[in-house]
Amino acid sequence: MNKVATLIFCGIVGAAGMGAASAATQEFDAPSLVVKYDRDSLQTDPGAHAVYRKIVRAAEQVCPQSSESRLVSEGTQQCRAKAIARAVTKINDSRLAAIYVSSSRSG
């Protein structure tokens, strides 16, 4: 079985004055999680949906809600959205990208 993994990085929002080099360093210093999946699973809609759900769960772990509130803060939502987008882009699969676009519109 061909195993492939991708990393989910937490987006860190910095001050507007920080440079690009600093932002690049933050990505590597940010918490991350490896999402393992079988590349063949992306060949079917149910398999691609399963991979997408893994990515979403990983983003929720890497970008946790800091308060006891049931409402997810805007910063946490942005962190998760960036982490999911990065993972989908890194995997570079059209079926997974279509699921991402569809989920982004409905969510």
Provide the token pair at 82: 């960036």
Cβ atoms of 40 and 47 closer than 8 Å: yes
Model confidence pLDDT, tens digit, residues 8-21: 554 433 322 333 33
CA distance from start to end of the chain: 33
Model confidence pLDDT, tens digit, residues 43-66: 999 999 999 999 999 999 999 887
- Continuous segment of H or E residues that includes residue 93: none
Sketch the domain layout of the chain as residue ranges: 3-106
Cβ atoms of 83 and 58 closer than 8 Å: yes
For the full predicted model, state whether its pTM sits above 0.75.
Answer: no
Residue 14 has a pLDDT of 31
